[in-house]
């Protein structure tokens, strides 16, 4: 069961970034990375929207809606930075982790705990 509380807080904090039904599926361990990214993205353009946030092959993936090229390029470089950070952070708890198998990034404790 994924705890969705932090997602609701995120959407409340950045109302312009997300539409009616935000498609956000990543673990709370990446909360800080995602929150920092959202803070930077709202500064890029007030019209920018995030269409999806998810975890793919153990890395964060963030997709933005249609926007002009310069906005897109700025957003994409911030997103790349966040994605690079995410592969070293446990998606469940936020501790230092590494790629576990092909699908998840986890820390040692979460691996041993069977998460
Ligand atoms: Zn962990």
Look up the pTM and report it: 0.92
User: Is position 35 within any domain?
Assistant: yes
User: Is position 32 within any domain?
Assistant: yes
Domain containing 41 equals 5-88
How many separate domains does the chain show? 1
Residues 3-42: pLDDT tens digits?
Answer: 688 999 999 999 999 987 889 998 899 999 999 999 999 9
Closest CA relative to residue 71, chosen from 48, 37, 52:
48
User: Is position 80 within any domain?
Assistant: yes
Give the Cα separation of 36 and 83 in Å (integer): 12
Distance between Cα 43 and ligand 1 center (Å)? 31
Distance between Cα 13 and ligand 1 center (Å)? 25
Distance between Cα 33 and ligand 1 center (Å)? 15
User: Is position 73 within any domain?
Assistant: yes
Distance between Cα 18 and ligand 1 center (Å)? 27
User: Is position 16 within any domain?
Assistant: yes
- Compute the Cα dihedral for 89, 93, 97, 103 and give only its sign: negative
User: Is position 106 within any domain?
Assistant: no
């Amino acid at each position: 069961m994924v705890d969705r509380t932090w997602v609701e807080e995120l959407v409340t904090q950045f109302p312009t970034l997300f539409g009616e039904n935000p498609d956000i599926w990543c673990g709370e361990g990446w909360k800080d990375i995602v929150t920092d990214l959202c803070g930077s993205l709202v500064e890029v353009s007030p019209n920018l929207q995030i269409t999806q946030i998810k975890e793919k092959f153990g890395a964060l993936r963030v997709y933005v809606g249609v926007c002009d090229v310069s906005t897109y390029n700025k957003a994409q470089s911030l997103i790349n930075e966040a994605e690079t950070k995410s592969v070293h952070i446990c998606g469940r708890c936020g501790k230092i982790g590494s790629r576990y198998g092909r699908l998840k990034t986890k820390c040692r404790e979460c691996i041993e705990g069977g998460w």
